[in-house]
Amino acid sequence: MSTLSKFLIRKAYIEGRWQENLLMEVDLAGMILRLEPYDGQNEGEEKAEVVTGYVLPSIANAHSHAFQRAMAGRAEYGSGGEDSFWTWREVMYRCAAQMTPNTLYHIARQLYLEMIRGGYGAVCEFHYLHHRPDGHSYEDSAEMSLALIRAARDVGIALCHLPVLYMTGGFDRRALSGGQTRFGHSPESYRALWQSLERERGPDVTLGLAFHSLRAVPVEVIREFEDFAPDVPRHIHIAEQVKEVEDSLVHSGQRPVSYLMDHVDIDDKWCLVHATHLDNDEVTRLAASGAVAGLCPTTEANLGDGLFPMENYLDAGGRIAIGSDSHVSREVREELRWLEYGQRLDSGRRTVAASSETLHCGNRLYNDCLEGGASVSGFRTGKLAPGYRADLVVLKEDSLLLAGLPDEQLVDAYIFNGNERVIDHLMVGGKWVLKDGRHSREDEINTDFRETMESLLAEQGAHA
Ligand code: ZN
């Protein structure tokens, strides 16, 4: 019996260019073994499944807090005073307080299903809801992590699980209080959690290290982890809010990114999430470090964070990835679109991401985020090539959004043209998880999510 899957791909986006008629062989572990031009004579081609439509490598989502899917669209009312990230955070803490392993599982399943429909093949889950709401551990301290891992496996999305170290309530190192108590770990208990999760690693699950922020983890503690699991990705929230920059200046005399980079060896294993507020020196330093800026444009817009200095950073050779963070959007195209639109609104110019090497904005954004997302997820993904995972998305061949377009405009149109469904299929690790726009467990996942939301809202109403 053959252990390989074979696909005859009619049109694929490879290294930034469209090619036609390719034979792809995928092994049982979901890795591409062979990708070669199809000439009608290839060995084994008679067993190949024909894939029509436009095939692109799928993007890894660099930043997710799954539970926040339960509050998407629910923090859009005025509280009577001036609303900001910090008032939103209070609503978010109330949502976090309601999460049990079971509710988190159902919300994450729905979210991961929506991500697949939105074109993501992998997700980096930045997870800090470790304990019970009162701060006590679950019987198995990894229970909330395991709920997320089970959700990802049920849906079939590749998961980079990032348990988060969260120790303090501010730069002044005050103790955690209120809604934060269930997030807390000491470095020792965090190490133990991380090591207990190592058994969950597999072809579709990687593990990385995460530090919530410089507010929540003293920089000397981050440094203590330099030799711990030295090869895995490392993620941190940084410089998202002006107040965070101001607090950092008060307590360290430095801006957050400078402070971090002066004390920790930041290299290409790192994902600095948001990094919104950078001065010119930080732009240059961060770009030169090889670290990836994990940009979450729809969340950053929703929260009024500010604008990442993308043009200068890309010009300096900086690497980027996209994440959906609070999940007000779960679509690759909307994230990339707003990444570019923010820059246009700010600069009064168009095609900001275009460069002399890559004239098309869509291609530049897509290519860069493929590479950056793959790097910070710990998966060998983001490329259609032998030795990489067979993670790909297929756009509808007859989509009116792409009708009649020349090859060089297909990615631009995918990102910048409309919102009608354009994704037909999505493959993760050689397996179709979306076919003709549907997931095999979609109805069950949707129903469980609806019931979970109804019970969360009823519970909240009862306490209001
Ligand atoms: Zn975040």
Tell me: pLDDT of 61 over 90.
yes
- Tell me how far the alpha carbon of residue 46 lies from the centroid of ligand 1, in angstroms: 47
- Quick one: pLDDT band at residue 464, thresholds 50, 70, 90? low
β-pairing verdict for 423-428 and 431-434: antiparallel
Q: Which of 42, 53, 60, 58 is nearest to 10 (CA)?
A: 53
More confident residue, 1 or 359: 359
The tokens of 194 are what? 């991380």
- Tell me how far the alpha carbon of residue 209 lies from the centroid of ligand 1, in angstroms: 14
Tell me: pLDDT of 407 over 80.
yes
Q: How far is CA 249 from the centre of its chain?
A: 29
Question: Rounded distance, CA 140 to CA 131, Å?
Answer: 10
Of 204, 325, 368, 424, which is the active-site residue? Answer: 325
Q: What pLDDT is stored for residue 78 in this prediction?
A: 85
Q: What pLDDT is stored for residue 82 in this prediction?
A: 83
Tell me: pLDDT of 382 over 60.
yes
- Tell me how far the alpha carbon of residue 274 lies from the centroid of ligand 1, in angstroms: 8
Task: Kindly report, residue by residue over 300-312, the tens digit of the pLDDT.
Answer: 999 999 999 999 9
What three-state secondary structure class fits 424? strand
263 is an active site residue: no
**Poorest-confidence range of 42-51, 219-228, 283-292, 378-387?**
42-51
Radius of gyration over alpha carbons of the chain, in Å? 22
**378 in Cβ contact with 208 (< 8 Å):** yes
The tokens of 376 are what? 């910070």
- Tell me how far the alpha carbon of residue 1 lies from the centroid of ligand 1, in angstroms: 46
Question: What would the mean pLDDT of 166-170 be, rounded to a whole number?
Answer: 97
The tokens of 267 are what? 């290299």
Packing angle between helix 361-377 and helix 332-347, nearest 10 degrees? 120
- Tell me how far the alpha carbon of residue 356 lies from the centroid of ligand 1, in angstroms: 33
- Tell me how far the alpha carbon of residue 325 lies from the centroid of ligand 1, in angstroms: 5
Q: What pLDDT is stored for residue 2 in this prediction?
A: 57
**Which residue do the tokens 């490598």 mark?**
57
Q: Give percent of the chain above pLDDT 70.
A: 99
Question: Rounded distance, CA 15 to CA 382, Å?
Answer: 10
Question: Rounded distance, CA 123 to CA 441, Å?
Answer: 19
- Tell me how far the alpha carbon of residue 300 lies from the centroid of ligand 1, in angstroms: 10
Question: What would the mean pLDDT of 191-207 be, rounded to a whole number?
Answer: 98
Single-letter code of the amino acid located at 303:
L
Q: What pLDDT is stored for residue 31 in this prediction?
A: 98
What three-state secondary structure class fits 408? helix
Tell me: pLDDT of 46 over 80.
no
Of 274, 277, 327, 425, which is the active-site residue? Answer: 274
274 is an active site residue: yes
**8 in Cβ contact with 36 (< 8 Å):** no
Task: Kindly report, residue by residue over 430-457, the tens digit of the pLDDT.
Answer: 999 999 999 999 999 999 999 999 999 9
Could you please report the per-residue DSSP string of 265-304?
Answer: ---TTEEEEE-----HHHHHHHHHHTPEEEE-HHHHHHTT
pTM for the complete prediction?
A: 0.97
Task: Give the N- to C-terminal CA distance of the chain in Å, as an integer.
Answer: 61
Q: Which of 454, 274, 446, 326 is nearest to 68 (CA)?
A: 326
- Tell me how far the alpha carbon of residue 125 lies from the centroid of ligand 1, in angstroms: 9
**Which residue do the tokens 């290409």 mark?**
268
- Tell me how far the alpha carbon of residue 410 lies from the centroid of ligand 1, in angstroms: 31
Considering the chain, what is the average pLDDT of its residues?
96
**343 in Cβ contact with 297 (< 8 Å):** no
Helix or strand (DSSP H, E) at 13: strand 5-14
**99 in Cβ contact with 413 (< 8 Å):** no
- Quick one: pLDDT band at residue 77, thresholds 50, 70, 90? confident
Domains plus CATH for the chain? 5-57+383-442 (2.30.40.10)
- Tell me how far the alpha carbon of residue 430 lies from the centroid of ligand 1, in angstroms: 30
Tell me: pLDDT of 80 over 90.
no
- Quick one: pLDDT band at residue 266, thresholds 50, 70, 90? very high
